[in-house]
Structure formats: C-alpha cells, structure tokens
Chains A and B, each alone.
Chain A
Amino acid sequence: MLCHEFEGQLTDYLDGALEVQENRKFAEHALRCPVCHDLLSQVKNTLLACSASEAPLADAGLEARILLRTMPETAITCSDFEEHLTDYLDGFLMAPLYHRWERHAALCVSCSELPGDVVRAIGACYTYKQDELVAPAGLEARILQSTIGNVLPQEVRAPARARLIEWLRGALDPIVSPQLASVATMLLVSVFVLTNTVSTDGSVGGIYHASLQLAERAAGNASKSSALPNGMKQLAGSVNDLMGGDENSGKGNDANKNQNTSNQNSAPQGPQSKPKGGGSEQKNH
C-alpha cells in the first residue's frame, strides 16, 4: 500500500468500513511507515478531543428566560416570590410553584439576592443567640431579695414541718414512672397482707397461731402420746415469742395481745388444757 492510498482509506478504516483484506493491508502499512503511523495517531487523538469537548454550561437563567418568553403567564410577581420564600426554605413549596419560584429567583435582578440574604440573616440570628449577654451584676441578688427576701439563700432553711409535708407530698404523689407501677402493686399487696386481708384475726401472726392451735388440738385429740404435743408446745411458744416481740415493737392490736397471753398462760399447762385455750382463741376470732 502506498502512502497516498493509506490517506485515502483513513476515514473508512476509522469507521470500520474496510473489507478484511483491505483492513489488514492498511494496518500493515501503519506499522511499517512511521509517517503514516503518526498521521493515524493524530487523527485518532483529534477525534477523541472533539467528542470530549462540550458546549460551555448554559447560564442558569437560560431555561428561565426561554420559559418566560414562551409562557409568560407562568411567571410570578416579586411579591408572590417574597410571600413564598419561607415555604421555599422550609421545603413546603409544591412542585409547580417551586419551579416558577426558582425561575423568578434566577431572572429577577432585585430578587435574586434575597434568598441568600434571608438565609444569612437567619444564620446571624443563630450566631447572635449563641453569644448571650451576661446578665447584669447584682440581678440575681435583686431577684432573690424580691422573692425570698434574702440574698443569702442558705440562711433560708425550710422549717422541719414544711419539709416533712413536702416530702410526704412527693411520696404520696401518684406514681409517675410506669416502671414503678409493678413495684407499687407489690407494695399495695403487701400492705393488704400485712393489714387484714389475709389473716382473719388482723395479723400475720394470727395465721400461724390459728394453724398451730388447730394442729395442737388435732394432735391432742387424736394421739395419747405426749411427745408430739410437747414438740408442738415448744414450737407454739417460740412462735409466740417471735410474734409477741414483733407486735410489741410494731402496732399490735389488743386481740393479738390477748391471744398471746392466753397462749403463754396455757403453754405450761398439760395437753388437756389445750382445747380450752383453743376455744378462747376461737372466741377471740
């Protein structure tokens, strides 16, 4: 292939339009002839550069200008523009209005700076907020003087009674936190248990006394052997001591005291007297 033939086929080669045979001859010539090789490279690079280059970006206002010329009825006025500025910044503007608003911002000379100014003004407000003025010296003292009548609050101590009332108020306040509700329920149940709901004679001790008395009576009636009643008696005695001690320190009731004394009196006596003690216990109930 001659050099002028090479040049003549260059465009066809780059377009991929050559026959296989022609294509092979063209490529062989490009490898053999340095001048034609350079030419091919230059043309390739030029084509590449042409495809990469684009027109400079259109001015942001171009689209707006075209729309203004073609659809002038969609333009908004400056006062409409201002009216919707906060909605625009808040992101509340509906799409059709949003675009018209932005077009106005791009075109109107007197409005185009406004959104930026407003954003900067809001920013200035936030900055201003951060730089708080120091409260004037003596203001706190004046406030304290005018409220509690004393500039040395440590001297104003709450009277014990007021503090107690306030503490009780806090304690009796309905439970605020839901997490504490279950605790409150448990407390309530234990109050019921500790008062009168469970025990018939008004005390926790009563349950044990009653069941002990029943057991003793049953044992006394059923068995002639003294070993079991004696064991029972010891147990009853120790329970009495325990419950008696508790109830003396707490708020025991008369019925329990009677019950305790009657039991303690009956304890040294023989098993025969037990039913009688049990009888008096039943009366108390």
Chain B
Amino acid sequence: MGAAKSLATNEGAELVRRCRSGDGAAWEEIVQTYTRRIYNLAYRFTSRADTAEDLTQEVFIRVYRSLEQYNPKQGDLQNWLMRLARNLIIDDYRKRQRAPQDEAADDLEDHQYHLRAAGGTVQREMERRELGAQVQAGIDKLSPDLRTCVILRDIEELSYQEIVDLLRIPEGTVKSRINRGRIELAKTLRRMRVVEA
C-alpha cells in the first residue's frame, strides 16, 4: 500500500485545536500526514509534477487559513481537508481547461514512483510502474468532464452522491460521465495493450 496515512477523528480535532493556538508542530503533523495524498490527487488532474506541487502548496495555504472554520462535529479532519482539496484542485482544473496552455504533460519517466519495499521482484515493480504511467496517460486522454468524474469515482472512490455534491451537476450526468469515461479509458488502455483478456 502507498503510505496512506490518516488520523483518528479525535486526533485530528485535537491537532486542529493545537494549530489554532499557534502550535507549529501540530500543523507540521497535518502537513506530513496529507501532503502525499493531496499531491497525488493534484497530479492525477494536472499530470505535471510542478503544477501538482504548486497546487498542493495552495491547498495547504487555504487549509491553514480555514482552520478556524473546521468543526469536528461535521466530520473528521480528513474528510474536511480532502473536500477542500478536491474543490480547489477541481476548480483549478476547470480554470485551466477554459484557458488552455500549450503545455504537454511532462515525461512520465521523470516521476519517481513509490516502489514497494517488499513483495515483488524488480520485474514486477517495473510492470507496476509502467502500469501507473499508462493509466495516467489514459486518464490524460479523457476530456476534462469525463476525466474529473473517473478520477473521483475510480481513484478517489467517492460515491455518486459525493460527486454530485462536489461538482453540483445532476446524478444522471455524473453517472453517464463515469460510464463514458470508463469506456473511453478502457478502449485507450486496450489500444496501449495495458488491459488484455
């Protein structure tokens, strides 16, 4: 598994309380716990390491300024933080789609994938690495609407309702975008010979 760290509900609330009182160590713990997850989310949308990095930083700045608004009674820190992150990253993604720049997704080889320390030969690790790069390449080929829905559903594993709430579009639209996105992704991956029967 990737280092999917998370905090218990009361632990998160306590950390936020300490942050609000100005405790730097508490804020550092939040940053350390969620940087990787948010960076990955940003990377899936942007497909560029530098943009994902900037976006991650922006998310944390926003989170830091919004700590006062966090209410532990309305859900745990992780949900709140990831919701904020998704909103911001999707907003940014939509903005960039409206004003497209001629930026090609950077070379996938540039990225250092997290390799599992145990369980798997070098060969298998290479295959996994390859798979990750190809899935990302397949996702990149989707249109923005489909891409957003596929990432949220099949990578972030949100429910239909959560996606409806997040994107503020009807459930029927969400479902048909997920459906269309999955089919296109499947066809792309088949062409790339990533998925074969």
Contact = CB atoms under 8 A, between A and B. Distances in A.
B34 to A, nearest CB: 10
B88 interface: no
Interface string A84-121: 11110000000000000000000000000110111011
Given A125-B135, A155-B24, A170-B17, A114 B186 contact: yes
Contact of A166 (B17, B31, B32, B57): B17
Interface string A109-142: 0000110111011101111111111111001101
Contacts, number: 175
Interface in A48-91: 82-87
A132 B135 contact: no
A135 B35 contact: yes
B132 A128 contact: yes
Contacts of A84: 179
Contacts of A83: 176, 179
B61 interface: yes
Contact of B20 (A122, A143, A166): A166
B105 interface: no
Nearest to B134: A124
A121 B131 contact: no
Contacts of A124: 131, 134-135, 138, 189, 194-195
A162 interface: yes
| Chain B at the A interface: SS class | helix
Contact of B135 (A128, A140, A154, A158): A128
Contacts of A126: 154-155
**Band of interface residues on A:** 35 or more
A283 B176 CA distance: 84
**Band of interface residues on B:** 35 or more
| Chain A at the B interface: SS class | helix
A170 to B, nearest CB: 6
A140 B112 contact: no
A117 B186 CA distance: 5
B24 A140 contact: no
Interface stretch (A38-46, A145-153, A224-232, A252-260): A145-153
Question: Lowest 4 A-B CB distances belong to which pairs?
Answer: A156-B24, A153-B24, A132-B2, A166-B21
Given A128-B135, A147-B61, 19 more contacts: A82-B180, A113-B190, A113-B197, A121-B185, A125-B150, A125-B155, A130-B1, A132-B3, A133-B112, A136-B49, A140-B31, A143-B56, A146-B61, A154-B28, A156-B27, A158-B22, A162-B21, A163-B21, A163-B22
